[in-house]
Amino acid sequence: MNHNVEILPSQKQFECEADDTILSAALRANVILPYGCKDGACGSCKAELLEGQVDYGTYQSRALSEEERVRGKVLTCCAKPLGPVKLKVRELSGLGDIPVKKMPCRLQSIEKPAADVAVLKLQLPANEVLQFNAGQYIEFMLRDGSRRSYSLANAPYQEGGIELHVRHMPGGVFTDHVFSTMKEREILRFEGPLGTFFLRDDSNKPVVLLASGTGFAPIKSLLEQAFFKNNTREFVLYWGARTKADLYMQELPELWALEHGNFRFFPVLSDATPQCNWQGRAGFVHRAVMEDFPDLSQYQVYACGAPIVVDSARQDFTAVCGLPEEEFFADSFTSLADAPG
């Protein structure tokens, strides 16, 4: 049996089959709601249930706390309506015109700028282009039917293939292959673009970007696109890593800071060793942001990387620094990362 779902404030309505989640029914109806992992792990799809009842489904408590659930929040990627429902969630425009495609690609090159980071450049079939918004991700479809997600690290205006930054997860089926037997010209299949982590163009607020580890990849895409479009908003990037070697492309944001007057860059190390010979910021990367921006009430924040970093930032920025909850955008590297097999 189908149930009616109404989204406010856009007042869009669509039908959701009894066994379907609100998010998948919305996407099928071309109503684009915010989402990331589609798996109850990241919290990006959080909405407010105004009327009706849902089966909340299975999710991780860090994505939706008990207290939030009591306040009427739901995760649309897990929730299934039990009757007609009304939800408050900001619908996204523009994405509906970008087709999500499945296509093959060929590994053009693989470089390892750090011991556990590989930069893959992938070539698309001659007659194909991949339209996407800077910040989105793709999912590799592996032979065993499983999937692995990686953010696109290049900007959409750059033609001629796609770039991904892959961190080695020892024991992970996919990344063990990337770091041992993967060869140039290998053929892979993927689906994309996916996700709603991209710069909101309907705002002029200054932007704080927070990356941990290979969370730099979608931030790179987003910034390269912003510079290409001569975006005049203020951008400040905090890139957190354990040691200096983990800042595998540090020279690139350093160069941007020289080239663009509206961009600043702060690398932050949490476990600097004597070999790092580090004179820069130290500690947790989100704490460095809080030191510099005790009041974030007039900012937008885009955070990407390890769930612990993204969750801490969301929690502390909203609770301590006055960042409005709806101005925090995140791409948390959660369940579809390469877990040990």
Kindly state the smallest distance separating residue 339's Cβ from ligand FES, in Å: 16
Shorter beta-carbon distance to ligand FES: residue 32 or 42: 42
Our CB check for ligand FES shows the closer of 38 and 287 to be 38
Residue with smaller CB distance to ligand FES, 41 or 166:
41
In the bound state with ligand FES, the residue whose beta carbon lies nearer, of 39 and 224, is 39
Q: How far is the CB of 260 from ligand FES (least distance, A)?
A: 32
Nearest approach, Cβ of residue 309 and ligand FES (Å): 16
Instruction: Assign 246 to helix, strand or coil.
Output: helix
Minimum distance, C-beta of residue 111 to ligand FES, in the bound complex (Å)? 30
The residues, any chain, with a CB within 8 Å of residue 189's CB and separated by 6 or more, are 102, 103, 104, 105, 140, 141
Bond from prior residue into 294 cis (ω within 30 degrees of 0): no
Residues lying near ligand FES in the complex (CB under 6 A) are found at 35-45, 63, 75, 77
Least distance (Å) between residue 118 CB and ligand FES:
25
**Minimum distance of ligand FES from residue 21's CB (angstroms):** 9
Closest separation in Å from C-beta 226 to ligand FES = 24
Q: Is 207:135 a contact under the CB 8 Å cutoff?
A: no
With a CB cutoff of 8 Å and minimum separation 6, the contacts of 83 are: 3, 52, 53
* Phi (first) and psi of residue 238, to 5 degrees: -110, 120
Closest CA to 86 of 32, 13, 20: 13
Return all residues near 324 (Cβ < 8 A) that are at least 6 apart.
297, 318
Measured from the CB atom, is 89 or 105 closer to ligand FES? 89
Of residues 41 and 208, the one with the C-beta less far from ligand FES: 41
Rounded-to-integer distance, Cα 219 and Cα 237, Å? 9
In this chain, which residue has its C-beta nearest to ligand FES?
77
Q: The tokens of 62 are what?
A: 């860090």
Smaller CB separation from ligand FES, 40 or 192: 40
Task: List the Cα angle 278/207/131 in 5-degree steps.
Answer: 105
